[in-house]
Amino acid sequence: MSWHGILGHDAVVERFRRALGRGRLGSSFLFIGPEGIGKRMFAHKLAQALLCQARPEAALDPCEECPACLQVMAAAHPDFQTVAKPDDKSFIPVELLIGDKEHRMREGLCRNLSLRPMVAGGRKIAVVDDADFFNAEGANCLLKTLEEPPPRSVLILIGTSPARQLPTIRSRCQLIRFEPLPAEIVAELLLARGLVADEAQARRVAQSSEGSLRRAEELADPDLTAFRGTLVSRLADPRFDPLELAKLTAEFVDQAGREAPPRRRRLRQIVAEAASFYRQLLKVLGDGSAGADAEILRAVERWRTGWAAAAHCLERCLDAAEQIDRNANQATLIECWLDDLAQAGSAQ
């Protein structure tokens, strides 16, 4: 079933529909779930439904044709605002929330949300993407808005995990969990967007996507697919040579260009591939799951007694992903990350 083109989140749709039907829609929400599963699209479609001029908001069924719906789609509605972390920043700048030093609380999301809706009887809606990247200063800027939300306002924060949210944020929002997409839906979306050659490739990529369309798109990238083969073949040996793999990894990152954002994005993809390898390895070591990739099954023979080591490697990959987001020196990060993985594997 699809809610205005959004697949896989019918339970969340019904949760909001019930709240609106009872007239008890909250004011602050934290959308949590893996990247690439439709949280951002859902937030925008919800804003469209709440601001639609042709249909009642309780129906949660935007017409997608009235001026308000079209303005939301174009990010031009006066009562709808979005904020996201710039690619060249480690955190969401406080200026986006409360204005720069010369215009404190006279600009930014918090001030805009505090104003009366431009449309009589309407709502003010704001979406903060990349909520994983609040620092303490940014989180504090939102406290008053979260504790005393303006009338008829809705604030939606989008993140990946409750653990990545500061307690001051997490405790003041209604948590909305979005589940990974089923593999059949990922395959359907890949085919619809022309990202794969045929149904067979769509199914194969979808099975390895962990329910994320973004990850599926990366897996369909032939360059990343080729490097993934190199990466997994090395990691399958617990005693791989970290210096050799660090050199290959640095070369692949260099191919992304000289600008920092694409290089950081590519390194994040590489670390995600390594994390996926260890995650699948742990699953097979734990319950002998059928249907695992042949490369994982081959790796199991070398990791038969290495459950704890594989778990440590997965945790180290998650740490590396966070370090990338914090703009750590890439050359140093690659070398330290791979050396830690090799040491953990050798110690099993």
Identify the pLDDT of residue 79. 97
Predicted model pTM: 0.82
Identify the pLDDT of residue 96. 95
Identify the pLDDT of residue 200. 87
pLDDT at 67 over 90: yes
Identify the pLDDT of residue 260. 87
- Reduced to 3 states (helix: H, G, I; strand: E, B; else coil), residue 329 is coil
- Reduced to 3 states (helix: H, G, I; strand: E, B; else coil), residue 62 is coil
Residues 6+ apart with CB under 8 A from 318: 275
Identify the pLDDT of residue 1. 62
The CATH T-level fold of domain 2-177 is: Rossmann fold (3.40.50)
Identify the pLDDT of residue 199. 92
Answer yes or no: are the C-beta atoms of 42 and 53 closer than 8 Å.
no
Answer yes or no: are the C-beta atoms of 8 and 182 closer than 8 Å.
yes
Residues 6+ apart with CB under 8 A from 103: none
DSSP secondary structure code for residue 1 in this structure: -
Opening angle at CA 172, ends 166 and 178, nearest 5: 80
Would you state the structure tokens that stand for residue 166, as one six-digit string?
Answer: 């500061």
Identify the pLDDT of residue 204. 84
Amino acid at 58: A
Answer yes or no: are the C-beta atoms of 149 and 117 closer than 8 Å.
no
At residue 220, what are phi and psi to the nearest 5 degrees?
-80, -10
CA distances from 46 to 150, 169, 324 (A): 19, 21, 32
Identify the pLDDT of residue 313. 96
Identify the pLDDT of residue 212. 93
Q: In terms of Cα–Cα distance, which of 6, 86, 109 is closest to 48?
A: 6
Q: Quick one: average pLDDT of 301-309?
A: 82
Identify the pLDDT of residue 304. 73
Q: Quick one: average pLDDT of 40-47?
A: 97
Give 245-267 pLDDT, tens digit per residue. Answer: 999 999 999 999 998 888 998 99
Dihedral sign from CA coordinates of 280, 284, 287, 292: positive
Give 92-101 pLDDT, tens digit per residue. Answer: 999 999 999 8
Identify the pLDDT of residue 191. 94
| Between 228 and 29, the higher pLDDT residue | 29
Of the chain, the percentage scoring pLDDT greater than 90 comes to: 68
pLDDT at 348 over 60: yes
d(CA 227, CA 273): 10
- Quick one: pLDDT band at residue 302, thresholds 50, 70, 90? confident
Would you state the structure tokens that stand for residue 256, as one six-digit string?
Answer: 């992304």
Query: Which H or E run contains 322?
Result: helix 307-325
Identify the pLDDT of residue 128. 97
Burial class (CB in 10 A: 0-12, 13-18, 19+), 110: buried
d(CA 56, CA 295): 53
pLDDT at 124 over 80: yes
DSSP secondary structure code for residue 29 in this structure: E
Q: What is the β-pairing status of strands 124-128 and 2-3?
A: unpaired
- Reduced to 3 states (helix: H, G, I; strand: E, B; else coil), residue 150 is coil
pLDDT at 132 over 70: yes
Would you state the structure tokens that stand for residue 160, as one six-digit string?
Answer: 């990946």
Burial class (CB in 10 A: 0-12, 13-18, 19+), 181: buried
- Quick one: pLDDT band at residue 278, thresholds 50, 70, 90? very high
Give 196-243 pLDDT, tens digit per residue. Answer: 889 988 998 898 788 999 889 888 888 988 999 999 999 999 999 999
Q: Quick one: average pLDDT of 128-151?
A: 92
Domain spans, the chain: 2-177, 182-211, 221-346
